Structure 1
Amino acid sequence: MHAITIRASGGPEVLDWTEVPDPRPGPGEVLVRVAATAVNRADVLQRQGRYPPPPGASEIPGLECSGTIIEVGEDVDGWQVGDQVCALLAGGGYAEQVVVPAPQLLPVPDGVGIVAAAALPEAACTVWATAVMSAGLRSGEVLLVHGAAGGIGTHAVQVGKALGATVAVTAGSAERLEQCRRLGADILVNYRDQDFVAELQRETGGAHVILDNMGASYLDRNLDALVTGGRLVIIGFQGGLTGELNIGTLMRKRAGIASLALRPQPVAEKGRIVAQVRKNLWPLVERGCVRPVVGRTIPLRQAADAHRGVEEGSAVGKVLLTA
């Protein structure tokens, strides 16, 4: 089969379309013929040499995919050859075929095409695990989503609205904010010329839950933006790895700070998250309350072009690669 491999750490030009050995499923695994995969920020970091795969994971990038099961390993129940699925991966999605642990499989939701389904697993599992399972977002609360025009952000906006939250977002242009408004965002903040802390306090008094992709550079201001008892969940570090935190403010607000990285989680924990997503979020997807947002679709062999687009921030939602 063919796959995208990383020749060396560097720019998009280090991504090569090459022939690699066909994978085979072991016990508890299935083999999926890939219809599409998605470009995530983690793939860019891996290409740059800043986010290596966890031990035992494929060196081929790609943290999610959609496709059709073509082989089922031993000790797999509930799945069979021919099933259309999408899947959360630790790696290997940028390929014509990929082996998937059965607990990390999801059915393609009714009403969603098999290619578009590749935009769902990573965003769905990240948002549900953080905003709902960890932070306990409830109806009537305020959710602040940073980087809201990206793949995870566009999903989080919709989930927040579907759960009855007031959704505030930050993005870097009027066009991207308008896309967020169309998805249901209530409060729009252009981070280039507006202070999200001041805007949020003026509109709502603060956020109950903040989903943050920036990390260090937003740490103290995120704390300022929380209401008493608020919860900050960090899912990225585009703004740096090391920051200062006012412990006095943290304690005075009785706030909570959590973080999540799905990729290094063991299969059992990923399976627990996937099961919750299938039970609670998939019905919202099938009713059209939450839908995959696809900004661009590009052939897999042109993955370098897709990476350039993601780094430039030119697409709203997910950039998909079709096998």
Structure 2
Amino acid sequence: MSPPAPLMRAVVATAGGALRLSRVPPPSASPSQVLLAVAATAVNRADLLQAAGRYPPPDGVTPVLGLEAAGTVMGTPPAGSGLARGDRVVALLQGGGYADVAAADVGCVLRLPPGWGGDDWAVRGAAVMEAWVAAYQVLLLGGCVRPPAAAAGGGPPPPPIEGTAPWGGSPPLPPRSPPPRSVLVTAAAAGVGTAAVQLAAAHFGVPVVIGSAGTPSRRAAVAALGATATVPRPPAAAPAADASPDAPPPPPPPCAYTDGVRAAAPGGVVDLLLDAVGGGGAWAAHPPLLAPDARWVLYGALGGARAATPAVPAALLARRVSLLATTLRGRPAAYRGGLVAAFGREVLPSMAAFPKGGRLAPVVHTVMRLDDVAAAHELVASNAVVGKVVLRVADP
């Protein structure tokens, strides 16, 4: 009888939402995947939702938590992948990052540039893929393009193909408006927010970048990342449930959030809203802050699901606002792979140069062990984190 296959450590959530570090068989790779020896992963809000039973993994995806990983390539990667055994890589995952071994689609794996991060290469790498690729996606969906001086060779970027996403393929998009000259980022101190502020300011060259965060210290951190102005978090109160559809909206009460945005934005309105809050009072607060033909990209619902108000549709129509809702985890492999490839070409080289001349850097709030995953989730849930909480899985 052959010896049993070795088991690996992996974190799964119980039916009651508790996190359990278990010993399970390692995953096997499909012909389009590669196995990674995970050195580090990071905690995302989606992990908290999955543990609570509110964000199940896509069909056929492992229940092991974790949407990103940094590690080394195991075995023999698929031919044509450009990867080799032992390569240091980062990967965007649909699940499985909280484990010793993860299976990743080859199109969602990027080899880290030489010299990346020094001894902390895995910690820095683990804080990249979910937050930065998601931020890159929402900025592209919001119409951002690199200014001509930043394009390869110093020339202008290629003209966009009307009706398609800038990274090619899917999804279809309406004809482009001019690139935004101002952007408002909610939850700007969170993982995606810290990436979006940096990308908007330093990569896409948006002149006005406004970031919202809940405390003075978190707003100071957002300002240090390149935001031209910071404001408090959006109002939390949801609209009254008994508001009549025919009644005119009441005059808005004084609000540090809306007043701060109006003071910081040219003309008191923004061209692009990157919104991770969605519900609560933010849903009603945002339409008056949007310029004609603005884009509102909704990629989270930290404010809760209850956001019904009769004033919002009329306000969006009056300003011809495009409301786009997006996620990343459930996208087809071709979409995720194309987005990762574009990110690897356009953004990762600038991140690799940090801190020697680079402009972009992942923000790591703290590093914890995989065994401390429950405490790491509690820390992220506390809303006291700036950037990412990284889980070290193996010693470098």
TM-score band (shorter)?
Answer: over 0.9
Q: Which residue of 2 aligns with 1:146?
A: 186
1:238 is aligned, of 296, 299, 302, to 302
Number of the residue aligned with 1:263:
329
* Contact persistence 2:73–2:85 (CA under 8 A): yes
Computed over aligned residues only, the root mean square deviation of the Cα atoms, in angstroms, reads 1.7
* Structure 1: unaligned runs, 5 residues or longer: none
Q: What is the TM-score normalised by the length of structure 1?
A: 0.94
* Matched residue SS, 1:168: strand
Aligned residues: 319
Corresponding residue number in structure 2 for 1:97: 101
Q: Which runs of 5+ in 2 are unaligned?
A: 1-7, 148-179, 236-254
Aligned match of 1:167 in 188, 209, 226? 209
Residues 25 and 72 in structure 1, CA contact (< 8 A), matched pair in contact too: no
Q: Which moved more, 1:113-122 or 1:39-48?
A: 113-122
Structure 1: distance between partners of 2:68 and 2:58: 15
Alignment match of 1:121 (pick from 129, 149, 169): 129
Cα deviation, residue 197, structure 1: 2.4
Equivalent residue for 1:32? 36
**More deviation in 71-80 or 21-30?**
71-80
Shift of 1:192: 7.4
Amino acid at match of 1:142: S
Q: CA deviation at 1:223?
A: 1.7
Q: Given that residues 109 and 117 in structure 1 are in contact (C-alpha distance below 8 angstroms), is that contact kept between their aligned partners in structure 2? A: no
In structure 1, which of residues 106, 123, 148 is the aligned counterpart of residue 110 of structure 2?
106
Larger strand fraction of residues:
1
Label 1:267 to 1:72 Cα distance change in 2 as closer, same or farther (>3 A).
Answer: farther
- SS of 2:187's equivalent in the other structure is coil
Shift of 1:53: 0.6
1:314 deviation in Å?
Answer: 2.4
Q: Distance in 1 between matches of 2:321 and 2:131?
A: 25
**Residue in structure 2 matching 1:65, options 64, 69, 91:** 69
**What is the SS of the residue equivalent to 1:114?**
helix
State the partner residue of 1:196: 257
Deviation of 1:241 (Å): 2.1
Contact 1:25 1:71 (C-alpha < 8 Å) held by counterparts: no
CA distance in 2, matches of 1:255, 1:74: 44
Q: Which has the larger radius of gyration?
A: 2
Letter in 1 for 2:32: G
Amino acid at match of 1:130: V
1:185 lines up with 2:246 in the alignment = no
User: TM-score, normalization: structure 2?
Assistant: 0.77
Structure 1 position 7, deviation (Å): 2.0
CA distance change for structure 1 residues 242 and 314 in 2, over 3 Å: closer, same or farther?
closer
Check if 1:207 corresponds to 2:270.
yes
Equivalent in 273, 283, 306 of residue 339 of structure 2 = 273
Task: Name the CA distance, whole Å, in 1 between partners of 2:288 and 2:77.
Answer: 51
Deviation per CA, 1:58-102: give whole Å up to 9, x if none.
100100010000123444521110111001000000000101010
Alignment partners' CA distance in 1, 2:218 and 2:279: 23
% same residue: 34
Secondary structure of 2:74 counterpart:
strand
CA contact (8 A) 1:230 1:254 kept: yes
Question: Hey, which of these two has a bigger chunk of helix by percent?
Answer: 1
Q: Secondary structure at the match of 1:216?
A: coil
Query: What residue in structure 1 maps to residue 81 of structure 2?
Result: 77
Correspondent of 2:359 among 272, 289, 294: 289
Amino acid at match of 1:117: G
CA contact (8 A) 1:109 1:286 kept: yes
CA deviation profile, 1:118-144 (whole Å, cap 9, x unmatched) = 100011211111112x11125671111
